Structure 1
Amino acid sequence: MISRTLFTDILIIVLLIALQIFVLNRITLFGKYTPVIYPVFVMFYPFFRNKYQFLLLSFILGLGIDAFLYTWGINAFATTVIAYFRTLIFRTSTDTSTDFFSFHSLQWSQFFLFVFMSIFIHQALVQYIEIFKFSRFFDIFLNVLATSGISFIFIIIYALAFKIKQKV
């Protein structure tokens, strides 16, 4: 297992921002849905690391996305929120009550539920804050579902490519 340091965390953040901005934001599926992959940093960050450093790095990741998309902190807010509640999301999706968390010990259905819940919450926060019209509630909800589903597929491919379930 590779030891992660602050330098490697920052390098991963820079690479994820570049991947999101310069590759994935140029992909629009069905004319309006863009896959989102940068929350994988928050989802798969080791549980045993410093929580305050993790929250700060998650905020920086979201702020980096905001800087390129001119979204005024929406992504920073959403990314920090899922980082803050990640343990709760993990416990809810896996029905675990222990203090030891490991993706390796999860069943695939629990792993999928954790990933989908995380990306769904992230997308709901981003899109409802960005559009913020009660009259478009159901349109936004369908957009959140579609974007979450597409992003889920990209994140699972990422997890399989980097063997997240086996390593973390």
Structure 2
Amino acid sequence: MLINKTKGKVWTGRVKIADTFFKRFRGLMLTPNVNYALVFILPSETRLNASIHMFFMLQSIDVIFLDSSREVVDLKRARPWRFYVPKGGAKYIIETPVGVIDYLNAEIGDEIDWEVEEERSAIPSPVEALNKIGIKNSNGTISLAEPKPKLKGE
């Protein structure tokens, strides 16, 4: 979810984080239907390194550039096959579906925050699966092995 703290507006869509070089490199390129926001966390606040390209994008997006205090320094409706440089230095870039800037009523100087929903895997881990079906032995631990038989004299 994206929150315009200045105006009290909330966009309840899904938010993902691009905090590594490869996640930032991939961005939303070749994404057929942008239906979530992607927050880019840059190593430092800068103007030129916060520039974005729209090469290999299949649709337009809204882009919000934020400084290190998460205040808006620039807003763009970015179209495919273009290049954009923010008006001021940015530490965070939020790429969203078209219309989110209008929905948040975002303007330069507004404080924008986000909450990332924890993504759940479609395939549970083995421990999660065993916990759900309640396979436990007498001492409370999970074991797939048969219990060790007791020998005479034990």
How does the TM-score come out when normalised to structure 1? 0.28
Flag the structure with higher helix content.
1
How does the TM-score come out when normalised to structure 2? 0.30
The structure with the largest alpha-carbon Rg is: 2
